[in-house]
Amino acid sequence: MSKRTLVTRVFAAGILLCGLAIAKAQTPAPTPSPAPLPYGANVSLENARKAAAPALAEAEKNHWTIAVAIVDTSGNLVYYEKMDNTQLGSAQVAIDKARCAAAFKRPTKAFQDVLAAGGEGLRVLSLKGVVAVEGGIPLVMDGKIVGAMGVSGMASSQDAQCAKAGVDVLK
């Protein structure tokens, strides 16, 4: 390779590196996630039933069959109901979704989205207790997490639709 070709390549590499540095400098810093809500007193049986009713009604309205589980902040089951003809596997999945949402203070959809992005998001698979499927949502009362609801039986977006109908009652 001639000296002139070498100098040209080194110059081109320098320009490329400068361009990359400028692009990196202009990339906005990621917005920090808001602090998770604190835990509050555990959801009562009365409020668990109150939250489950609209979730079940949403499923019935759409001719869906689901299982609904409500856990306290420690993941202990407070309320559970499975509609007739719901697939048997959904019984445990609903509980697992609720426990995940309570333990990690976020909807299970957050894990689904991180996993779907791939790359570093695949690390989610190593976290014990994570259910990376939409349908688990924390229960919030007075700005504090009091438990969580998990719904399973249909497509994950339909499970989430039912769960949202339930958790919105307690806000």
pLDDT at residue 120 greater than cutoff 70: yes
pLDDT tens track for 21-70: 554 545 455 556 678 899 999 999 999 999 999 999 999 999 999 999 99
Place of tokens 């989205």: 113
Res 30: pLDDT: 54
Task: Write out the DSSP string of 27-59.
Answer: SPPPPPPPPPPPB-SPPPHHHHHHHHHHHHHHH
pLDDT band at 3; cut points 50, 70, 90: low
Q: Is the dihedral of CA 60, 143, 133, 152 positive or negative?
A: negative
Read off the pTM: 0.81
Domain 45-167 has CATH 3.30.70.890: no
CA dist., res. 165 & res. 107, Å (int)? 14
Give, in degrees to the nearest 5, the angle at Cα 152 between 99 and 156. Answer: 105
